[in-house]
Amino acid sequence: MKAIAYRQSLPADNTASLQDVELPTPALEARDLLVRVNAISVNPVDTKVRRGNAPAEGQWKVLGWDAVGIVEAVGPAVVNFKAGDRVYYAGAINRAGANSELHAVDERIVARAPASLDDAQAAALPLTTITAYELLFDRLGVPKNGGAGQTLLITGGAGGVGSILIQLARQLTQLRVIATASRPSTRQWCMDLGAHAVIDHSRHLSEELKALGIDEVDLVASLTQTPQHYAQIIASLKPQGKLAVIDDMEALDIMQLKGKSISLHWEMMFTRSMFQTADMDEQGKLLAEVAALVDAGKVRTTVNANFGKINAANLRKAHLLIESGTAQGKVVLQGF
């Protein structure tokens, strides 16, 4: 089968950083689906793994944790899917990724793709949807249809996770949603997705909030550059507020949270699949719930750029865009 893979960690502008290769069809575990991949999207995790995780000598490593495709075969213990089903999912970081014609994935983290979206549009959603959903409901603990009278601040609102988090918070809670963005295009993107207001994260967050008449917020979802905004986030949170983070950091001084009794929550959407948790199937369920919201016209795709066919050259371009920090919404590729 065709795949895009690498053997050593290299900058994305090096042609050897991602290469077109031929690999064997993956073997299926008991609860696996074998999916023929039609479309993928690219996330920051792809670039982080490429830069910092080289495979064993002589081995190929395949990235890609967002896919839409058709089930071709199922493992002996599969109960929820059959050949011919059109599915979407993010996969597991401790298994081969989906940048390949055929991909093996555990059925518990899979759902049927939104019928109203084409493959590329649907491929933009899984990883960021799982991240945003778990952050909002499992980490910050916001009740479904709850949060009335509370304010959620989302830093990096125009990124992949922010773009779906704005929508989920508006559709499934009563929170007031304030997003951050620094360019006119990204500010408008956040407003179009449903943010009640947008402030500029290149300025002091607390001052920007006060200009809206907001002294402090109840919840913060810090999605990028957390160390850069950390002091302002603490200043902007109410006593006993909650801070959820997803970005990688060398260090974070948690003692700064003590005075206000602020709680810190990490979200990593691969945790359930990595540790085969008892509630691993919650990811398939939440993807099914969001697919229904999409088909009802309540949530829209966050795709903002289609880089064409799934091949090494186009994937390298996508990695370079993600690494630039200027991506808005999601980047997708479609077809081999």
The CATH number assigned to the domain holding 224 equals 3.40.50.720
- 203 with 105, same domain: the answer is no
With a cut of 70, list the residues of the chain below it in pLDDT.
none
Q: What does the pLDDT read at residue 180? A: 97
- 278 with 261, same domain: the answer is no
- 98 with 188, same domain: the answer is no
CA distance 118 to 113: 9
- 100 with 169, same domain: the answer is no
Number of domains in the chain: 2
Give the range of the structural domain holding residue 22, as residue numbers without chain letter: 2-125+273-334
Q: What does the pLDDT read at residue 275? A: 97
**Where is the domain boundary, 228, 250, 266?**
266
- 90 with 179, same domain: the answer is no
What is the pTM (predicted TM-score) of this model?
0.96
Q: In this predicted model, what pLDDT tens digit does every residue of 211-239 receive, in sequence order? A: 999 999 999 999 999 999 999 999 999 99
Q: What does the pLDDT read at residue 248? A: 87
CB atoms near residue 197 (< 10 Å): 18
**Where is the domain boundary, 266, 295, 324?**
266
Q: What one-character-per-residue DSSP string does 51-103 give? A: HH-PPSTT--EE----EEEEEEEE-TT--S--TT-EEEE---TTS--S-BSEE
Token pair, residue 110, equals 């899979």
**Where is the domain boundary, 243, 266, 289?**
266
The CATH number assigned to the domain holding 111 equals 3.90.180.10
Token pair, residue 282, equals 């919650």
Token pair, residue 179, equals 């997003």
- 74 with 169, same domain: the answer is no
